[in-house]
Chain A
Amino acid sequence: MKLNRIRRNPHSETIIALIDVVFFLLVFFMLIGRMDATAPFDVTPPLAVSGRDMPAGGATLSISRDGALALDGTEIAGSDLEAALSRALDRDANLRLRINAHKDAELRHVLPLVGMAEAIGIADVVLVVTPAAGPDAG
């Protein structure tokens, strides 16, 4: 007796819907994901109520709790920072410097860097903060 294998319909279930869903998810994660370089050490920005939305772009200077520095995710010595920022400023005259300091970093590690950035001509320096709900927030 000859047994015939049942022919399977190769497209019994449409996969177009699956592709649509996966594609939407892919675009969603591509759009909301941030591709910023992260610092090689732990940085927890301070909480602030009066912060504004942070625009994208610019260079990010991270400062750890003990004053270690990282420029755009790469650790850098304090003595090399001014030259690195000057080179970045040469490439982009409207450079925005984002200072992402740990909330427990002492200001002697932070404020001189703001002054140095201003001295070499960076006109847009911002401090990165984590938004906090105000005391009158519901």
Chain B
Amino acid sequence: MAGYPTLRRPRAQGQLISLVPMIDVMLILLVFFMVTSTYLDLDMIPAVRQRDATSGASDATAGTVLIRLASDGVPVVRGVAQTDGALAAFLAAELAETPLTQVLILPSGAATTQSLISVMDTATRAGATRLRVIRLEARP
């Protein structure tokens, strides 16, 4: 009487491809990306938008506030130099009365970019939604 056939599990084959070169390449890539990566946290403020062209006509019912930015970076409203807090309070009062007040900023060419951004920040935090930067252009 024949016995049951014996089933043998096939022996697992050894490693066909060495993993060492792959690990080497991965480590080199890892070091490369660790060294070359930059971790800049940057934001943006829109300067020109397509829809700005269509919103050029001013609303007759809304007022306009002109902020002149002096060359030393001090904002001047109606001839009076303003601190950041005073400017924020002034704009908040204006915008509470007329929410669609247009805020125009006329910066001096010698003012720094930081001073312009700070004034734009102040106006935005005060609630201004219609904010424009204007500049005088020399014509021959």
User: What residues of chain A lie closer than 8 Å to B39, measured between beta carbons?
Assistant: 32
Chain B residues near A (Cβ < 8 Å): 15, 19, 22-23, 26-27, 29-30, 33-34, 36-50, 107-114, 116-118, 120-121, 124-125, 133, 135, 137
- A interface, by DSSP: helix, strand, loop or mixed? mixed
A108 within 8 A of B: yes
Q: Are B113 and A26 in contact (CB under 8 A)?
A: no
Are the C-beta atoms of B117 and A26 separated by less than 8 Å? Answer: no
State the majority secondary structure of interface residues on B. Answer: mixed
Smallest CB gap from A22: residue in B: B26
A contact residues around B118 at 8 Å (CB): 46-48
Find the A residue at minimum CB distance from B29: A26
Binary contact readout A7-42 vs B (1 if CB under 8 angstroms, 0 otherwise): 000010001001100110110011011101010000
Rounded to whole Å, the gap between the CB of A16 and the closest CB of chain B is 9
Q: Are A131 and B44 in contact (CB under 8 A)?
A: no
Contact B26 A19 (CB under 8 A): yes
B residues in contact with A129, CB < 8 Å: 42-45, 117
